[in-house]
Amino acid sequence: MPLSIGDPAPAFTLPTDTDTSVTLSDFLGKYVIVYFYPKDATPGCTTEACSFRDEKPNFDQRNTVIIGISKDSIKSHKKFKEKEQLNFILASDETGEVCEKYGLWVEKSMYGRTYFGIARSTFLIDEAGKIAQIWRNVSVTGHVSEVLKSV
């Protein structure tokens, strides 16, 4: 059954680009943006990450943490973060366990070929750890502004 607004956000602890780990419950009392994206350094994912980077001061003013999650390795995250000067947490879900908890490991199709991948989605989690808003199958253009308005 897909996650809905008001549901408790599925818990996770994942390794990050800073050689530490991030645990969702560590941010109780803050809003948390958890955005799932398919792949580091691809055009759409870079645009989305840079939009979050550019708006981070505005999210900070709203007591909001940003966490980007993909199945890419920590090494890949580090390169991506350095190249794009990203100023928020990138977490690695190499096993796909967290993507599955959030219902985002889905069958996709491109050029007549089917494969499994991450459905680009964003979750706004409130101070109590409940899902306050969900954006599924995100179109990158204007998305971050929409998320900021919802915080």
Residues of the chain predicted below pLDDT 50: none
pLDDT at 113: 79
Of 135, 43, 40, nearest to 86 by C-alpha is 40
Cα separation, 59 vs 147, whole angstroms: 10
The verdict on whether 99 is a catalytic residue reads no
Residue 34's beta-bridge partner residues? 67, 123
90: Cβ–Cβ under 8 A, 6 or more apart, which residues?
Answer: 16, 17, 40, 67, 68, 69, 70, 77, 80, 81
Q: Which CATH number fits domain 13-150: 3.30.2420.10, 3.40.50.1100, 1.25.40.10, 3.40.30.10?
A: 3.40.30.10
**Dihedral sign (CA 59, 61, 64, 66):** positive
pTM, to two decimals? 0.94
Cα separation, 106 vs 115, whole angstroms: 8
pLDDT at 112: 80
CB atoms within 10 A of CB 104: 24
Q: Catalytic pick from 45, 69, 98, 119?
A: 45
**Dihedral sign (CA 127, 78, 142, 109):** negative
